[in-house]
Structures are given as structure tokens and as C-alpha cells.
Amino acid sequence: MTQEAEPPSRRQMRLGVFVQAPGHHVGGWRHPDATVEGWPNLSLMQHIAAAAERGKFDMFFLGDGFATGYDEHPSTIGKFEPLTLLAALAMGTSRIGLAATASTTYAEPYHVARGFASLDHISGGRAAWNVVTTAYAKSSAVFGRQHPPHAERYAIAEEFVEACRLLWDSWDDDAFIGDKTAGRFVRPGSLRIPSFKGRYFAVEGALNVPRSPQGHPVLIQAGSSGPGQALAARIADVVFTAQNDLAEARAFYDGMKAQLIRQGRSAQSALVMPGVMPVIGRTEQEAREIFAELNRNIDTAQAFTVLSERLGADMSPHPLDGPVPDVPETEHLKSRAALLIQMARRENLTLRDLFYRVAAARGHLLPVGTPVQIADLLERWFEAGAADGFNLMPPFFPGQFDAFVDLVVPILQERGLFRADYTGTTLRDHLGLTRKARPQFTDH
Ligand SMILES: Cc1cc2nc3c(=O)[nH]c(=O)nc-3n(C[C@H](O)[C@H](O)[C@H](O)COP(=O)(O)O)c2cc1C
């Protein structure tokens, strides 16, 4: 394992693939180049991971949530549990980072710390945890609990992550010596038992997983409200965000970097990666036809679920050809609702226009064009200081992801905007982040 990647000759973008299969677009699964059989399809996941590694991607990323039902987004109705899937994928890959979402509202720090430390070992230092607070109240049903309000969810998340970090630092890096001659499996003095007492969690014991290759898994944060950004500034190595306007994306980027510096961190210690859904055709005409076909295949009830959830209010009673109604701020997903309303007002969208945009990319950037046009857009955003990289959201898998890897990545590489090959082995290496050192303890 190398501890730090070789610096590239110029700043290069990072790329993740956000795997919401069979497709991010509500109608994506019906495309002839989408795989749907044998669901949940492990071979498809293996195919995507192999393609991502062939394309020298930084990471394979799995979102997660707890709701299911006929009218949910087709890609969330039935799926693998993220950590078990990533452990399986670790066996057939050697470089690609493996990122999973885990909720701080519906789990215990010990379970999460243990799962990600194990994945980091299994994968040789490629694990990342997307720290989410779980936005929707309906997620609480399977836990038989009340869904906490937005501010409290973030207060819980702060404690949760702190407890995990202490757990990950339980053991020295070289604790497990296996000294058969001396009869010592672990080195004396190498364990520090965490002692954490917060308002929501208490931890008075150590993690029974040796310290992992990256020290701590890479931490991703994906909430863009004020409290979400504040949490990111304190703990994140990567910030996922939804942005669809260059000026606003730059403002978000600058604001995030300023907050990092206020926390005593460097601007490059956390990378900002907006989501992007490229619809790729060999010609502009073909790309437009693919997009039109996807839109024809939208299930209206499913798309309304996605739209109403993102806005925090039921949109089905409103006339589709009228303006987008004002919606009060809710306790669910504050930043995304604000982003969508802002986009609707800026572009003078009807509710129908917004319905289609959200059914496609849920408010993320949505370019439709040729490989060169897609590469141009990513370059423009990257060079304008709006992003350190992108979290790719193909409308359907594997067709549109393969198209990106085979047709867009080579253009980015030719322009020197993306790596031609991996220079390290861990996800921290790929992202240009240092390994997490264990704090010096004096109280062994
Ligand atoms: C790219 C991206 C991916 C996300 N993935 C998940 C996810 O998998 N599960 C989840 O519960 N929330 C996910 N979120 C939502 C956020 O974690 C957060 O709960 C939500 O944005 C509400 O917080 P906010 O009001 O601070 O933005 C994601 C957000 C973004 C931008």
C-alpha cells in the first residue's frame, strides 16, 4: 500500500459512479440496454465494478434507504444491502474505491464502525462511508420509531461520527504482531478503550477489528443544507452535492472550501463532487432520441413519488401545465427542495417541466449530447472551480455507463483531465488524501 499518490502534472478530476441500478432515470429500466433480469443481479454489479475499474474511476458508490413499495423509484424497490455487496465486489476488483451509504439516524455507531473497518480490510484500503441522516419520515416505519426532525438528525450525526472515529482508533496500527515465540498475539499497550458519552450515544468499549489500512474509511457527506455543510466541513473527505447551475455550483464550492479553512483544514482536504446524469449518444440526434424514449417510459405514479418527496409536498393535485407552486420548508430534505424551486423560477418551468427533470436526474446536472459535448461540460465545470470531480449517475445500467467509460473517459484522459492509470492502491491514494493517523495517546 502506498500512503500518498504521486501528484499528477496538473489538477485532475475525480470520478465516482453512483450505482442506482437498473437506472437513475425513472424510465431507465425499460431501455433495451438496461439489465433487469434475475433481480437483484450480482453479475450486473460485477460488470459495473469492472467497467469502473477499467475506466480508472475513483469509486463505485451505493446509496441506501429503507422504503419500498409499488410507487417508489424502480431502482430503490429491491436491491442488495450495500456492505455485503461491496465485500463481494472487493473480491473481483483491486483498485476501485467501494463506497456505501449508512444512516446515522437508524443504526448504532459500533455496527457501522465495525462494518466499514471490515470492508477496508477486505478490500485492502478501498472503503468509504457516505454519512447520511435519512431524509424521509417513511424510512422510520421498519424501525418502529419516530423520525427525528432535521436539526436533531444532524446533532445525532455529529455524535455518531465522533463515536465511530474513536472506535476506529481503538488499536495501534501495529497491534496485531502474532509473535509466536513470545506468545503474544497482540502487543501490550496497543489498545485504547474509547470512552464516549454523548446525548444520543455512549461507547465504553473497543472495536474488535484491527485498525484498518486507511486508518479510517473515506468519509463522504451528502447533505447540502446549512447543518449538512457544517458537518461536512468538520468530518468529510468528499462532499456529494446536487448542483445544476454553474454560478450556484461555484458559490457552493467556494462556500464549502471557506468553511473547511475556518475549521483549520486545507481547501483540498475535502473534495466537492456534484452528481451528473449524462445522456450520451454517438450523435446529438441519437442522444436526444434516447432521452425522449426514457421520458416516454416514465411511470407517472413513481415519478410523482420522487417529485413530491424531493419538494416535501404532494404535487399530484396541482395542474401539470401550471407554474410550480410555492412549497413550505419541511423537515425532510431542505437543500434539494430549495434547489428545485430555484431552478424552476430561474428557468420559468411549469410543473410538467419539473416533473420530467426530477424523474430523470432528481435535480442533478443533466447534459444530453455526444461524448465530446459531455466531456466539454465536465471540463468547463471543473476548470471554472465548481467541482473537484463528479459523481456519475447513468440513466440506465449497463448501457449508458459503458458508453461513458468507453467514449467519454478517453477524451478526458487525452485532455489530461483524468488519470490514465491508478498511481496508488487505496481510495485515499486515488483521492490524493493522506492516510488517517492514529492520535498519540498518553493514557495506555
Ligand atoms: C449525491 C447524493 C447522494 C445521496 N444519497 C443518499 C442516500 O443514499 N441515502 C439517503 O438517505 N440520503 C442520501 N442523500 C441525501 C442526504 O444525505 C441528506 O439526507 C439530504 O440531502 C437532506 O439533508 P439536507 O437537507 O442537509 O440536504 C444524498 C444526497 C446527495 C446529494
Query: In the chain, what are the domains?
Result: 14-169+195-280+366-431 (3.20.20.30)
Q: What is the pLDDT of residue 4?
A: 45
Q: Which residue has the higher pLDDT, 45 or 316?
A: 45
CB atoms within 10 A of CB 136: 16
Band of residue 1 on the pLDDT scale cut at 50, 70, 90? very low
Average pLDDT on 186-205 reads 97
Mean pLDDT of the chain: 95
Angle between helices 82-90 and 109-122 (to 10 degrees): 10
Predicted confidence (pLDDT) at residue 55 exceeds the cutoff of 80:
yes
List, as one string, the DSSP characters of 219-279: EEE---SHHHHHHHHHH-SEEEE----HHHHHHHHHHHHHHHHHTT--GGGSEEEEEE--E
Ligand 1 centroid to Cα of residue 435, in Å, is 26
CB atoms within 10 A of CB 41: 16
Average pLDDT on 71-79 reads 96
Q: What is the pLDDT of residue 269?
A: 97
Q: What is the pLDDT of residue 442?
A: 60
Q: What is the pLDDT of residue 441?
A: 75
Per cent of the chain over pLDDT 70 is: 97
Please report the atom of ligand 1 found closest to the CA of residue 225. 26
Q: Is the CB of 16 under 6 A from ligand 1?
A: no
Average pLDDT on 272-281 reads 98
Predicted confidence (pLDDT) at residue 8 exceeds the cutoff of 80:
no
Predicted confidence (pLDDT) at residue 153 exceeds the cutoff of 90:
yes
Q: Whose CA is nearest to atom 8 of ligand 1?
A: 63
Q: Is the CB of 4 under 6 A from ligand 1?
A: no
Q: Is the CB of 20 under 6 A from ligand 1?
A: no
Residues 271 and 431: beta-carbon distance below 8 Å = yes
Q: What is the pLDDT of residue 5?
A: 46
Helix (H) or strand (E) holding 391: strand 389-392
Q: What is the pLDDT of residue 111?
A: 98
Average pLDDT on 356-369 reads 97
Give the end-to-end CA distance of the chain in Å, rounded to a whole number. 28
Q: Is the CB of 228 under 6 A from ligand 1?
A: yes
Q: What is the pLDDT of residue 179?
A: 98
Q: What is the pLDDT of residue 397?
A: 98
Average pLDDT on 383-393 reads 98
Which of 59, 73, 132, 342 is the pocket-test mutation for ligand 1 (most atoms within 8 Å of CB)? 132
Q: What is the pLDDT of residue 132?
A: 97
Average pLDDT on 363-368 reads 98
Q: Is the CB of 221 under 6 A from ligand 1?
A: no
Please tell me what DSSP assigns to residue 95: S
Q: What is the pLDDT of residue 443?
A: 54
Q: Which of 47-61, 76-90, 190-204, 331-345 comes out lowest in average pLDDT?
A: 331-345
Band of residue 43 on the pLDDT scale cut at 50, 70, 90? very high
- pTM score: 0.96
Q: Can you read off the three cell numbers belonging to residue 65?
A: 434507504
Q: Is the Cα dihedral 418, 422, 424, 427 positive or negative?
A: positive
Per cent of the chain over pLDDT 90 is: 93
pLDDT in tens, 253-264: 999 999 999 999
Please report the atom of ligand 1 found closest to the CA of residue 274. 1
- CA-CA distance, 13 to 374, in Å (whole number)? 14
Q: Whose CA is nearest to atom 14 of ligand 1?
A: 222
Average pLDDT on 372-392 reads 98
Q: Is the CB of 133 under 6 A from ligand 1?
A: yes
Predicted confidence (pLDDT) at residue 9 exceeds the cutoff of 80:
no
pLDDT in tens, 318-352: 999 999 999 988 887 888 999 999 999 999 999 99
Phi, psi of 187 (to 5 degrees): -75, 130
Count of alpha carbons within 13 angstroms of residue 19, beta-carbon side: 32
